[in-house]
Amino acid sequence: MRICGVELTANDAVISLMELEKGHFTLPDCRVRKLSLPKDHSREDLQQFQFAFAKLMDDYRVDKVAIKERLTKGKFAGGAVSFKLEATIQLIADIDVVTLTSSQMKTALSENPLPIDFSATGLKVFQQGAFNTAYIAHMLNYDK
């Protein structure tokens, strides 16, 4: 099963694809590392973002999207635009979307440490959150 991990930051949806087959993880190549929304976005910009994300998931035959949940209050709260991006992704037809809380992620990582050092993956540093999200979604059996 192929899962796309997503970390929403400001105006960006940072992504990382991960596939688990016969007990082995693979990181399929992807033409983009993140999808962005302009700062002064319009309804059409949101629709274009949604279309581009849906097309990417279809092109890479993604079975599930796992989004790292953001806090709604406090110092590390997510911005309004990131919540719009999340809603836009969740409303895409034919894509199964789950959100993972920080506590779920922390527990899953403590029980199932990453089998590889992130630096050995070949991904960019800013993709680490999305990579962890995809890995944890597999570990929590969201790939069923």
Domains of the chain: 2-139 (3.30.420.10)
For the stretch 52-75, pLDDT in tens is 999 999 999 999 999 999 877 776
Band the pLDDT of 47: cuts 50, 70, 90: very high
Q: Is the pLDDT of residue 115 over 90?
A: no
pLDDT for the residue 78: 67
pLDDT for the residue 77: 67
Residue carrying structure tokens 């099963």: 1
The overall average pLDDT reported for the chain is 91
Report yes or no: 14 and 127 within 8 Å, Cβ to Cβ. Answer: yes
> Among the ranges 21-25, 99-103, 139-143, which has the highest mean pLDDT value?
99-103
Neighbours of 35 (CB within 10 A): 19
d(CA 37, CA 6): 15
Distance separating the N- and C-terminal Cα atoms of the chain: 8
pLDDT for the residue 72: 72
